[in-house]
Structure 1
Amino acid sequence: MPKLLFVVFLLAYATNCYAQITMAEIDSIKTAQDSIKKSAYLKNIGNGYLPLNYFDLDLRYLIKFNQYEGFRTGLGGVTNDRFSEWFRINSYVVYGFKDHRFKYKIGGGLRLKESTNTWLNFAYKDDLQETGSSSFLTDKRFFTFFEPRLLNIDLFHKYIQKSVSLEHTFSNHLLSETAFSVNKIDPTYNYTYALDGENYNTFDLSMAQVSLQWSPFSAFDIVEDNVVTIKDGYPKFTVQLTQSFKSIFGSDFNFSKVDFRTIQKFNHKNNATTKLTLVAGIAGGDAPLTHLYHAYPNNITKETILQRFSVAGLNSFETMYFNEFFSDKFSTLQIKHVLPPFKISERFKPQLVLISRYAIGDMNSKRRHQGVAFETLRHVYSESGFEINKLLFGFGLSFAYRYGGYHLPNFEDNIAFKFTFNISL
């Protein structure tokens, strides 16, 4: 636990210092740059990039930590318009100090049409992915400085991926990405997928994906030929279709997936806000555990509350233990009610957030997944709690309690007590 707290403090301190330096630099050039240039600079920072001369440094690869790799650090980024307006190189290399292994991506893209920001991308990746995670292709265009849930993840699979993708903007409100990839999957843990009399410890997958993100009520403006969001409107919708093709380029399995997410936010007269996030997914066919669903767990399997003390996630179930549940169909609902800050002083304005989370799911053919012990979410999983944020340098505290269909016999096992970290530019 002291090691984990040290890691979190180091990451948070580095992030906080970086944000302060960035804002100081922006303040120092107020007299030298107009508001348009500053908006463009902030847009790049908000998207996770530090603009350099011909290259934008991707901040996601500087430093991270998880239970399998330990510290993960490296460099990555993408060439910018000063390098070329019609061609880009998008690559990274990182090193895990616990697994003693390099991971990398070699990629590039060709701009096919400027008015619709249409890019044809090619990439070769050798990296890790969390088992049971399901991300949307369009999400990679958005960035958060600190992803606290990553600290506790331990169930990863290695993958080598060759991919081609097409980014296309139908309108400012509708983003799309289509991809086809050939993947070699190698779980880092003891896992066997039993199918039709054969046991698979490693497997090949050839997959096609189509992802759409629709923000019908957001407002946009053009800043130096770039589209910038000036009003974040709700609701927002994201949908993604995935199809794996058996026997194409040696692929072992045939399965389909549909993933959906919608986010709604209500602004109240007293400056309070209520945010609802609904996520659902379903997989049909012969999908291995690596490509099924967990439900965003974020609780370490330790005996006491203090041993489980860590950092709360942004959209995770704080009382759900890692690798406790997997599903081939699931849905989650998260409700956050953010009260106005308590104005105790000019610098001390803590904020109370009331939270409730629910999840339900199921799995067909559970016996096919061997070597990993887990349950399904056939009953409603429920937890509620609160956060008190911005107590000190962006740090706060969170408390959550597990109840309902998956309430545990030992009272302490239903409690998650953690700290939070929130920072924004």
Structure 2
Amino acid sequence: MHSQEPKNQKDSTIVKKDTINQIDYLKHLGNGYFPTRFLNVDLRYLIKYNQYEALRTGLGGITNDEFSEKYRIDSYIVYGFKDHRFKYRIGGGFRINEATDTWINLAYIDDIQETGSSNFLTDKRFFQFFEPRLLNIDLFHKHITKAINIEHQLSNHLITETEFAISKIDPTYNYIFVIDDESFENFDVSTAKISLEWSPFSNFDTVKENVIETKNGFPKFTLQLTQSFKDVIKGDFNFLKVDFRTRHKITYNADVFSEIVLSSGLATGSTPITHLYHAYPNNIRKETIRNRFSVAGVNSFETMYFNEFFSDRFATLQFKHFVKPFKISKRYRPQLVLISRFALGNMHDIERHENITFGTLEKGFSEAGFELNKLLFGFGLSFAYRYGGYHLPKLEDNIAVKFTFNVSL
């Protein structure tokens, strides 16, 4: 005689599975993916806007474990309506060790990149539903990149990525890089990178053979080394870059906390401006505060104008303090965030960079302000004031008033 499982126990099991599926679904969305049976659609490529392409739209995705646990395809195609060009990535990878989650990835990329941006390889795990800085960026360079990448988890607390890439770089703006009486309007770069992300204070647990982070501990540290090689697969320059970032969060209670982000970078050797640092500006050059009204970034300098500064060595310190939300009603709880930011930098051999005008940050750039978030449908307001060594003569040129946008799952 077979024993029969009680009906209420079956119901509770179904509810539990549905809950797990819902949590897993929200986790995928939080990471920037819309999951389907074999493919996780990458939400980053659906629609964006910037000053060079105007509207940028397309489709991309990565295959999931239902497709294969050992192989994956990771590709996208997008179209820019202002420059009338398709951009794309054809990529994929295969896993060589399950215990250390070690993957070898190959990619061919034909796209554009913001000049002066410096991304960590391990940052691709981070996703924002809305990236406000993109709206106003106008300084891009085209690149065709062939890359091989190795992901490896040394431990639960330490993940690494290593990449070797060759890139053809073509700035979309009028720029000449001069080295030893030789001028480059476009150039080839051969680079090797290693990136390490260390989370020593996080806790992990194994659930159904998957390692889950049960405590998001702080501080977290990220280090990346980049070496460019001259005459290796037609590389034009030798240069070395060292990038470092640490994030810290101080929690006072469930509603009140502070976030501190320290970032720094150093570039030595023959480094073109495409691979230098811009210190995260997010202010557009227009005459009045009203005309400059746009959307505030997450960790950007709201009063620093785009393309105003470039550095071959820099450091930024950003501090945010989240005040206890105002409990106007059960669901309507706006939150005040106090903000202070500081940047310091400089550059050797500025004369190498021709047909482009910019300043340096040796005086120290300072701004302070606040955000009032979640006023209506995730939107809020931001105010920032520029003071110190780069305070401008006209008062309103030091002020930035913008929207904020915050959505959390």
Classify the secondary structure of the residue corresponding to 2:15: coil
Residue matched to 2:8: none
Matches within 5 A, 1:125-140: 125-140=109-124
> Matched residues in 1 for 2:27 and 2:179: separation?
48
CA distance in structure 2 between the partners assigned to 1:111 and 1:285 by the alignment:
36
CA distance in 2, matches of 1:275, 1:90: 33
Task: Quote how far apart the aligned CAs of 1:32 are.
Answer: 7.3
Is 1:274 equivalent to 2:220 in the alignment?
no
Return the alpha-carbon distance in structure 1 between the equivalents of residues 99 and 320 of structure 2: 38
**Are 1:400 and 2:381 matched, yes or no?**
no
Counterpart selection for 2:359 from 375, 383, 386: 375
* 1:288 corresponds to: 272
Q: Secondary structure at the match of 1:33?
A: helix
* Structure 2 residues not aligned, in runs of 5+: 1-12
Tell me whether 1:319 sits opposite 2:338 in the alignment: no
Partner of 2:7: none
2:116 counterpart of 1:118: no
Cα distance in 2 for partners of 1:214, 1:35 equals 31
In structure 1, what is the Cα distance between the partners aligned to 2:407 and 2:255? 19
Letter in 2 for 1:323: N
Aligned alpha-carbon RMSD (Å): 1.4
Deviations 1:212-239 (A, max 9, x none): 0001111233455433333211000000
What aligned pairs does 1:21-170 form with structure 2 within 5 A after superposition? 31=15, 33-170=17-154
Which amino acid letter does the alignment assign opposite residue 376 of structure 1? T
In the alignment, residue 321 of structure 2 is paired with which amino acid?
H
Cα separation, partners in 2 of 1:65 and 1:373, compared to 1, 3 Å: same
* Aligned mates of 1:32, 1:73 — CA distance in 2: 38
Structure 2 residue 161 is matched with structure 1 residue 177? yes
Equivalent residue in structure 2 for 1:356, among 340, 343, 356: 340
Q: Distance in 2 between matches of 1:143 and 1:216?
A: 22
Q: Secondary structure at the match of 1:250?
A: coil
1:95-153 per-position Cα deviation (integer Å, ceiling 9, x unaligned):
01111100000001010001111000000000010000000000002211111111110
Query: How many residue pairs get matched?
Result: 397
2:236 to 252, 261, 264: 252
Structure 1: 5+ residue stretches without partners? 1-28
| Greater mean deviation of Cα atoms: 144-153 or 306-315 | 144-153
Aligned counterpart for 2:198 among listed residues 214, 236, 244: 214
How far apart in 1 are the matches of 2:130 and 2:214?
23
Q: Which amino acid aligns with 1:84?
A: S
CA distance in 2, matches of 1:253, 1:296: 25
Give the SS at the match of 2:338.
strand
Query: What's the secondary structure of 2:193's corresponding residue?
Result: strand
1:272 deviation in Å?
Answer: 1.4
Structure with max Cα Rg: 2
TM-score (norm 1): 0.91
Identical-pair percentage:
65
The 1:270–1:159 alpha-carbon spacing in structure 2 relative to 1, beyond 3 Å, is closer
Deviation at 1:50, TM superposition (A): 1.2
- Distance in 1, matches of 2:203 and 2:18, equals 22
Report the secondary structure of 2:122's partner residue. helix
1:330-345 alignment, distance < 5 Å: 330-345=314-329
Whole-angstrom distance in 1 between the partners of 2:97 and 2:342:
43
Q: CA deviation at 1:171?
A: 1.4
Per the alignment, do residues 30 and 145 of structure 1 end up closer, same or farther by CA in structure 2, a change over 3 Å counting?
farther
TM-score by length of 2: 0.95
Secondary structure at the aligned position of 1:252 is classed as: coil
Cα deviation 1:42-88 (Å, max 9, x = unaligned): 22222111111111111111111101011111110111111111111
The residue identity in structure 2 corresponding to 1:349 is R
CA distance in 2, matches of 1:326, 1:105: 29
Aligned to 1:23: none
Contact 2:255 2:325 in 1 (8 A): no
Match of 2:399?
Answer: 415
One-letter code aligned to 1:213: E
Measure the CA separation in 1 of the matches of 2:218 and 2:236. 40
DSSP 3-state at the match of 2:17: coil
| 8 Å Cα contact 1:36/1:224 also seen in 2 | no
Structure 1 pair 35/347, CA: closer, same or farther in 2 (3 Å)? closer
Shift of 1:270: 7.8
SS of corresponding position for 1:246: coil
Question: Counterpart of 2:69 in structure 1: which amino acid?
Answer: E
Q: Measure how far apart 1:347 and its partner are.
A: 2.1
Q: Which residue identity does 1:412 align to in structure 2?
A: E
Supply the distance in 1 between the matched residues of 2:297 and 2:197 (Cα, whole angstroms).
Answer: 23
Cα distance in 2 for partners of 1:42, 1:169 equals: 24
SS at match of 1:83: coil
Partner AA of 2:150 in structure 1? L
Counterpart Cα distance in 1 of 2:255 and 2:47: 35
